[in-house]
Chain A
Amino acid sequence: MVETNPAERRGDPNVAVLLTWFLPGSGHMYLGRVGAGLLSFAVVEGLYALGWFLSHGRTFEYLDPELRGPMSTLLTPEAGNLGAMLLHLKASGFGSAEAVPFPSAIVLASYLSALSGILNLFVAAHAHLAARAGTRSSAAAPHPVGLLAASWFLPGLGHWLQGRRLRAGIVCGVLLGLFALGTWFAGGSNLSRERHFYYWSGQFLLGGPALFAEIVAGHPRVTRELPWVDVGLLYACMAGLLNVLAMLDVWGVAEHRWLYPEATAHDSAVPEAGPSQPTREVPT
């Protein structure tokens, strides 16, 4: 993380992140950005509420009964929107106690609530950056949160938009290759949250490719033995988890360019690793 001068900050970045984690938009409001806070709240909570409504509150019923517990949903994408997830658990628990068919839209509902959690992480990152940047920003550099979202949407896209084309190609090739190989080994059975609840959560971090694959070929009937299904699940899940590393790499460079555009313009295309850059003067 690039260090900034505390005197230039709008508020404590960590407080902004924690507030956002519990209640989307509250971090922005803490920083005085009421409009952004209200918009974030409406979009993030709206997605979660729609997912909750469409699933009749039964998304977590996917989880096997023996795995259910107070902490068992913390490894889901929904945990990114912690307040909504806790409210969901308090109001609906793990769904119906009786074996009744799932609502027809539960797959879509599951996407929406999971997307809400991921989106709130981007909102939290935005609040963190807004707190640290103060009045500084770069109109020329792409916004770091946009690049972060691009990296989630398609692995390597964030690197590509930063002009780091070789890295983008390698990241994209490695992660998509790993995911494709895993899906092949698992016979497509990884493309179902109902079947593999936790592996699906890790795989969801791969973003667009995982969603697209599930829409196109998800929830297949398993009609044969899958000898390498465990390997496939591991590969697909690891592809998503490794995409987090790629996203952090994009974020590190993007925030440096955003906070120190002049240093970036005078130096090389990417920042030097090591100690943080000095804070430049900010016109008032």
Chain B
Amino acid sequence: MNLGAHVVFFLVLSLAIVILSAFYSEVEDAPALRSVPKRYAVFVGACAVVAGVMLVLEYLFASVR
């Protein structure tokens, strides 16, 4: 399957998750909106780290090649 498309799908959904969680965390609109870029970067970065760890573990312990 197209890896690029899946990354785009992930980024779109991540943005929705981050926006809603920012609004849940911040009562005022302005601080909530200002916090979105940083939250988005942290969320995507953390997910990328988790994905990287999973790929390494798969390569080391579960690869069928």
Contacts and interface: CB of A to CB of B under 8 A. Distances in A.
A171 B24 CA distance: 11
Contact of A246 (B6, B23, B28, B32): B23
Given A178-B13, A231-B9, A242 B27 contact: no
B13 A238 contact: yes
Interface in B2-57: 5-6, 9, 12-13, 16-17, 19-21, 23-24, 26-29, 32
A249 interface: yes
Interface in A241-275: 242, 245-246, 248-249, 252-253, 270-273
Given A167-B23, A178-B13, A245-B20, 7 more contacts: A166-B29, A171-B23, A178-B16, A231-B9, A239-B16, A245-B21, A252-B27
6 contacts: A171-B20, A174-B16, A175-B20, A181-B12, A249-B23, A271-B27
- Secondary structure dominating the interface of B: helix
- Secondary structure dominating the interface of A: helix
Interface residues of A, number: 26
Contact of B24 (A170, A228, A231, A248): A248
Interface of B: 5-6, 9, 12-13, 16-17, 19-21, 23-24, 26-29, 32
Given A238-B16, A242-B16, A270 B27 contact: yes
A46 to B, nearest CB: 34
Contact of B13 (A228, A234, A246): A234
A166 B20 CA distance: 13
A174 B13 CA distance: 10
Given A167-B23, A171-B23, A249-B24, A242 B29 contact: no
A272 B27 contact: yes
Contact of A270 (B5, B12, B28): B28
A60 B12 CA distance: 33
